[in-house]
Structure 1
Amino acid sequence: MTLTTRILNAPAAVRRTLAIAIAALLVLIVLWLILLAFEVLYAARDDVQGKRETLGQLNAIIALAKSVQTEPKSEAPNSQDFLAGENEAIVRSNLQARLNNAARTSGAVVMSAGNAPALVEDGITYLGVRANLTGPFEGVHNTILELETTPPLLFVREATIRRVTAQPANGSSSDLFAEVTFYGAMRTDAASSNQDTKP
């Protein structure tokens, strides 16, 4: 008697139990296949996502490289950015002459002027002049403005300004007294020449 015949001749309860067991086994197999399919899909999705991220990083690197290649190179400093003169002594003399000219054309008076200590920042030597100015507000203001806006540009490192006369009744500007220290950049070759001339 074959197995199939025995199953068919078995009591109804046995056949029912066997049918339920086979159905449950089939359900488990189907669920396992579904889970396996989802696992494969998730793995494929993660792989694609990883490749997309890698591609994005590569594109960013390529774009950065292109921007670096096409970025214009910084231009060399213009000669007008530096104080004129072959050495430090000439540069300082020209600096004081420029201050006197700016004050004269602006309506201020240079009461006194002297050399300020040299400064060295980032390999560049800066020479300065310390001056006492007096005159109306417009004169002192325009003197400083001209020095800061006309090449070679100077910058104010220290300044003390005070009023020396009361406000006139006619509304004109009162006289000011200013203690100002200006600095400007010195050309590298001039700084080297100054070092060579020192004993």
Structure 2
Amino acid sequence: MSKEQIWIEAGYQTFAFEGPQALRIEKLAKSVGIYKSSFYHFFSDLEVFTERLLDFHLIQAKAMSDKESNAQNEAELTQTLLDHKLDLLFNRQLRIHRDNADFQTCFLKTNEISLKGFMPIWKKVIDLQESSHLANMVLMLSIENFFLQITDETLNSSWISAYFSKIREMVQLFKTTNSIPSIDGSV
């Protein structure tokens, strides 16, 4: 692995676990065991480095989307999500910090990349293959909720399975009542 890639991966992990405010050149240099001058050689400043992290994330999002589009069942989708845990945590930070225009743009691009390949398996997992509109609506609500809940500790196979199960329950309620219950608790 090149020194440049070592910096990118260390920064990507730091961003994913601690957020953009944790990106400090000296801290990264200590974690990778490389002199700070190497950082400046590759990236010139933290802004350029952050742009490279966002570019790297879009590449990772495409790889994840390709795997999601090939998933045939919930178990395969779950494994893909676990394989891309770091990417999901990075995306969570983009969502949290989307008041930054660059992060918002990357977050939206990531969703655009992901949703096309994700929808077919999503409809299977939530047992809603007959209604693309409702499946899309449930997905949009679920994405926000998903990123609010995930952490390094919670993002595991049993949590993902329980999450999908709760969404299936909600979808079944939609189907049996033929209406969408109020989200705010009113009747």
If the length of structure 2 is used for normalisation, what is the TM-score?
Answer: 0.23
When Rg is computed on C-alpha atoms for both structures, the one with the higher figure is 1
Greater share of residues in strand: 1
If the length of structure 1 is used for normalisation, what is the TM-score?
Answer: 0.22
